[in-house]
């Protein structure tokens, strides 16, 4: 397909008129110079394109590890904050919303967390003797990222529940229903990721019930 856009300038029209007349007289046109117009197309050369792709590849390779580390740290921090908020909420419920009507009877209850696995938990209700009453929420995941998990100190590895009494003080209960005595004055839950080099710590003050976190 031939594109004639830009051909018919004033100069080329003169050439065309002249050569039409010449054809009529001599039968031999002189078209030299008819195609002498210039186009100024701009673009990338192959070398420029190769250099650009090379530079972009280097930048992408240097940014990718930093972005991955930032995302893993963000995921850990988000899971930590959500779980701390959960603990603060149920602690507040144990202090201020500890009366319910259960099967037609008035009960005072505790709220607590049941650890189902190293990534799953749910909120539950407990009798004043710390025995299980019923579940309060459906099962929840600490994080959608399976690499983010709970961790506990050595003598609390078989922990099943963290219960808050009416004063907001934490009570740790094992799989057998026995109360665990922490080996340290300030017991903690660790939230860690297999993809970053540090943990998030949640500490429980056994005297005041305050939940400290970093």
Instruction: Show the domains of the chain with their CATH numbers.
Output: 52-213 (3.55.40.10)
User: What is the pTM assigned to this prediction?
Assistant: 0.68
Per-residue pLDDT band at 137 (split at 50, 70, 90) = very high
High-pLDDT (> 70) share of the chain, %: 76
Say if residue 141's pLDDT is above 90. yes
**What pLDDT sits at residue 139?**
95
What pLDDT is recorded for position 150? 93
For 69, other C-beta atoms within 10 Å of its C-beta total: 13
Radius of gyration for the alpha carbons in the chain, expressed in angstroms and rounded: 38
Q: Retrieve residue 27's tokens.
A: 């039968």
**pLDDT value at position 1?**
43
Looking at residue 4, its pLDDT comes to: 45
Whole-number Å distance between alpha carbons of 115 and 162: 8
- Region for residue 155 given its phi and psi (left: phi exceeds 0; alpha: psi -120 to 50; beta: otherwise): alpha
Q: What is the pLDDT of residue 88?
A: 96
Q: What pLDDT score was predicted for residue 153?
A: 79
Q: What is the pLDDT of residues 14-32, one digit of tens each?
A: 554 555 455 444 544 454 5
Cα torsion for 88, 94, 99, 101, to the nearest 10°?
70
Average pLDDT over residues 80-92: 95
Selected residue with higher pLDDT from 163 and 16? 163
Check pLDDT > 60 for residue 179: yes
Q: Is the pLDDT of residue 108 over 70?
A: yes
Does 118 have pLDDT greater than 60?
A: yes
What pLDDT does 14 receive?
Answer: 54
Residues 25-79: tens digit of each pLDDT = 454 445 454 444 454 555 667 777 888 887 887 776 666 667 677 888 888 999 9
**Based on the number of CB atoms within 10 Å of its own CB, is 98 exposed (0-12), middle (13-18) or buried (19 or more)?**
middle
pLDDT at 5: 47
- Encode 119-138: b = buried (16+ Cβ within 10 Å), e = exposed: bebebbbbeeebebbeebee
pLDDT at 144: 85
């Amino acid at each position: 397909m031939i594109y004639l856009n830009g051909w018919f300038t004033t100069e080329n029209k003169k050439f065309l008129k002249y050569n039409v007349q010449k054809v009529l007289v001599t039968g031999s046109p002189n078209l030299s110079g008819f195609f002498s117009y210039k186009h100024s197309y701009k673009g990338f050369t192959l070398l420029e394109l190769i250099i650009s792709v090379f530079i972009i590849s280097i930048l992408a390779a240097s940014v990718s590890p930093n972005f991955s580390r930032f995302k893993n740290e963000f995921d850990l921090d988000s899971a930590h904050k959500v779980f701390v908020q959960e603990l603060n909420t149920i602690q507040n419920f144990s202090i201020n919303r500890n009366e319910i009507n259960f099967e037609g009877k008035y009960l005072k209850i505790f709220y607590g967390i049941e650890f189902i696995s190293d990534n799953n938990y749910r909120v539950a209700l407990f009798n004043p003797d710390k025995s299980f009453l019923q579940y309060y929420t459906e099962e929840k995941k600490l994080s959608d990222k399976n690499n983010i998990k709970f961790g506990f100190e050595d003598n609390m590895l078989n922990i099943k529940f963290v219960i808050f009494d009416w004063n907001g003080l934490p009570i740790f209960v094992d799989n057998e229903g026995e109360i665990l005595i922490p080996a340290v004055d300030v017991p903690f839950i660790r939230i860690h990721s297999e993809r970053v080099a540090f943990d998030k710590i949640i500490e429980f003050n056994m005297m005041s019930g305050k939940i400290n976190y970093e």
